Structures are given as structure tokens and as C-alpha cells.
Amino acid sequence: MMHDTQKAAEATFLLLDWYDRHHRDLPWRVSPPMARKGAVADPYHVWLSEVMLQQTTVQAVRAYFNKFLKLWPTIDDLAAADAEDVMKAWAGLGYYARARNLKKCAEAVAGEHGGHFPNTEEGLKALPGIGDYTAAAIAAIAFNRRSAVLDGNVERVISRLHAIETPLPAAKPEMRARVLALTPEDRPGDFAQAMMDLGATICTPKRPACSLCPFRSSCLALATADPETFPRKAEKKQKPLRLGAAFVAIDNSNAVYLQKRADTGLLGGMTEVPGTGWTARRDGETSIYAQPFAARWEHCGAITHVFTHFELRLSVYRANVQRAETGANGWWEPIASLKAQALPTVMKKAIAQAIPNAFKAERS
């Protein structure tokens, strides 16, 4: 195993040399050529991208990142934004607690730190929504701190490089120590991004391009086993299935009845159609008798949506109503402007099941 300091330094040199030539150009990144011309990373851009990239692909994040910067160019702009506008802009990225914490973090940085992010892992972790990984990434990439940055791509690279047999998540402490041992003092941010890029483009989950990898001569998984079997993972538990219902009401002006969810809990603060009280731990009512108000409801099928810890199946009902019939709190939103609302994907699925062309313009 690569305990030797010289071997570690050689591996790091090879990786950074590869990164200088093959880095990805990303809208939030200061690339090596940009850095040579004097550009420095913007902590706001690094933080925003890292929060968005949690559980989300680079391809999906690009458009959202650019949209957020156009709406709120600085951390102070985001801090001053209306929370509902932030949720609307976030809609579709999923994991909506991130959006709530994004707003809280912006307010903390603007209000308590003069608009400047703390430049240490400890200071960053004191901010809302920033955990170990995000703090390490910001510290390394934005402030050039020597931090062990460990995301899914890096876990895959380091587990294969050292053929780490311990399954995740128990292997994380060893992985973090291995990554820190390789991280150089002079370019820790580039090293972190190089590991991410290597995992995303070469050391991929399936069919890794080992012949192109800068670590190929020292990779223990390549030498002794099948790299695709790393990282080792504990057996997954089957996700429980939860049941519920969604009620899509349409009035005579072609508007849909919407309401806002409670600010706390799953999908907190997001927009929804009326439904039943399902949660990650219990089912909601599924029958037509759970209707939110009297109308001629018709069953129009069911949709399924997978959350992190459970699968949800919603029976979808539709009714054409007069606005005066509802008598409930909420608002009527024209179908043409539904895509501008803070609707999570599960609610878009329910609406589309009842109104097949509701988001046609958005998909085209």
C-alpha cells in the first residue's frame, strides 16, 4: 500500500498534471489556465455550486447555477431575496431542505459575517446547511486550505487506488485519511477538483477507463481485483412503500388549485396540490373519500416517486370545479404559469397525470 511519502507525492503530481490537461470547464470553476492569469475562486460561487451538486448531477446543476447568479449575483442579493422566490427557482433540483438552508446560510453570511464566508472548515461548518463535505470543499477550492474533500467520485477513486475492503459508510474515516495524505499543501483546491473530475470522467462506476488513468501504475484494485467492485457497499435495505392521494382541481378558467406546504418537514415550504397526510413513516388516505372539498372527483391513475428513504405511490384524482366551490385556503394558478411555481417533481408528476399537457412547454 502507498504509505511512502514519496510515492504519494508522485501520485499527486501525476493527478495534477492530468488535471491541468483534462479538467472540465464548469461555470463555477476557476480552471488552471484561468488561475495562471490571476483569477481566484469566488467563495459564493463555490458554495452555491457545492450545495446544488449534492445528490444532483453536474449536467442538471449548470442551468440552475446560472439562473441563481442571474437572479442573485452576490450572497447579499440572495440573503435579501424573498424565500418563496428562492424555492421557486430551486424547484426541480430536489432535496428541498437544501434550498431552505441555502437561504438561511446566505442570511447568516450577510448578517453575521459582513457578506464574507469564513475561510476555515470549522467556521464554515457553523453555518446553516454546511456539513463536513461541503465545508472541506469550500475551504479547499475557495480558500486553498489543505482539506480532505470526499464526495462520491472521490470515494470511488480512493477506494480503488487502495483497494479498501471495508464497505461504505464504515470506510469513510479511512478514505478521508487516505485523501488527506495525498492532498498537497500548494494546490489543495485543484487536487480536490482533480479527484472529482477523475471519478466523473475516468474512474467511473461502470467500465472505468483504467488505461487513461494517471493512477493506473499504483492502483491496487486494478492490479489485484476488479475495479468495478469498489467501493465495497453494505447491502441496501429495501425502501418502504408509502401510499397517498393527490387531488387536482381545475376551474372554468383553466387554472389549477394550489396550496403551500408547511415550512418544516419533507418538501417544506414548497407548493402542492391538495393531498392526504402521507409521510416517510406512514401512509395517507388513498380513496376518493379523502377529497379536500366536495366535487365530482374522478380517478385518473397513479404516480410513483422515489425519495431518499422511501417510495411514494399517489392515487391521482381530478375534478372540474367552480372557484366558489372550494372554500379552502390556497390560490388558483393558470396552467400556463405552473412551471414558474415552486412545485417539487412529485407534484408535477401528479398534475401531469391529471392534465397530460400541463408541462408540455417545459419539456420541449
- Looking at the annotation, which residues are catalytic? 50
C-alpha cell at 184: 498537497
Specify burial of residue 213 (Cβ count, 10 A radius: 0-12, 13-18, 19+). Answer: buried
Compute the distance between CA of residue 339 and CA of residue 62 in angstroms, rounded to an integer: 18
Compute the distance between CA of residue 226 and CA of residue 135 in angstroms, rounded to an integer: 33
Residues written for the chain: 364
Closest CA to 257 of 335, 179, 189: 335
Compute the distance between CA of residue 254 and CA of residue 203 in angstroms, rounded to an integer: 50
Compute the distance between CA of residue 331 and CA of residue 150 in angstroms, rounded to an integer: 44
Question: Using H for helix, E for strand and C for coil, what is the string for 151-199?
Answer: CHHHHHHHHHHCCCCCCECCCHHHHHHHHHHHCCCCCHHHHHHHHHHHH
